[in-house]
Amino acid sequence: MDKHYLGQKFLLSEREHHYGKNVHLLSDPVLFSYLATLCSPETKQPAFNGLIRILYESLIRTVIAHEFSRKPGRVVTRMAAKHPEGSFTAELIDREQPAVCVDLARAGTYPSHLCYEALNFLLDPDVVRQDHLLMSRQTNEKNQVIGASNGGCKIGGPVGGAMVLFPDPMGATGSTIIQAMDLYKSGFNGTIPPGVAKRYIALHLIVTPEYLRNVQKRHSDLVVYALRLDRGLSPQDILSTRPGEKWDQERGLNGEQYIVPGGGGFGELLNNSYV
């Protein structure tokens, strides 16, 4: 057994901040550049969805490498037919780790499907599933978000011991994630057998300080991964501080709770539907 294959470490490249240990603002210049193109007014279909695929296939790999458990496994290669040494033992991602991808329609539908596909190739497909939640913003007369409504769901069962993933491009106010986690933790108001998830993880492209504050206030156990933090409406002196250092003065949402600088409505762009 070659000990070189054991004890592999994955070093997460992330930016320093003061939002807490459950928040990971990734530092990846390649993905950051892809995201910059995604947010450009010139980027439309089919390039938009092509970039979403590139970004989420990379993001899910990072999350799996950093969060999912591993265990030793013996691998027999094709060379074993000619050499008894044609096998090795290494630490591999635990194929029996249950995982649930949650489609938060409609911006999260395609990202969730991409993560679901990736997990099926890495884990035993029998322990991987995709749930579907139809969530929509609730706004007041000033078009300000006051919550999220659940328009329906298709849930495959309990989440006991599972890694529950929320691949949703934009973390703006946090109302959707908060509502979704409320439902999972309550067993969908008692209609699903109870179960305690191993971990809840949100996979975002962009988040705001307001989002991070709101989700941590309601669900401090949520682990957040994001490629970019947008706080573009903060005072100029705040923009020169380390993220989260003066959290109460940071702003990334306009009066209608859209992210600035942001990238526009990703749900509309993903589906080429502007209603």
- Whole-number pLDDT of residue 142: 59
* pLDDT for residue 88: 93
Which pLDDT value is given to residue 212? 98
Q: Where are the domains of the chain?
A: 10-69+87-271
Q: What was the pLDDT predicted at 127?
A: 98
pLDDT at 138: 58
CATH code for the part of the protein at 10-69+87-271: 3.40.50.2020
- Taking only the tens of pLDDT, the chain with its 275 residues reads 788 888 888 999 999 999 999 999 999 999 999 999 999 999 999 999 999 999 999 999 999 999 999 999 999 999 999 999 999 999 999 999 999 999 999 899 999 999 999 999 999 999 999 999 997 665 666 565 555 566 689 999 999 999 999 999 999 999 999 999 999 999 998 999 878 999 999 999 999 999 999 999 999 999 999 999 999 999 999 999 999 999 999 999 999 999 999 999 999 999 989 87
| Global pTM exceeds 0.85 | yes
Amino acid residing at 97:
Q
Q: CB under 8 Å to 240, separation ≥6 — which residues? A: none
The reported pLDDT for the residue numbered 144 is: 58
Give the pLDDT score at 263. 96
> What is the pLDDT, as a whole number, of residue 28?
97
Q: What is the pLDDT of residue 152?
A: 85
pLDDT value at position 8?
Answer: 83
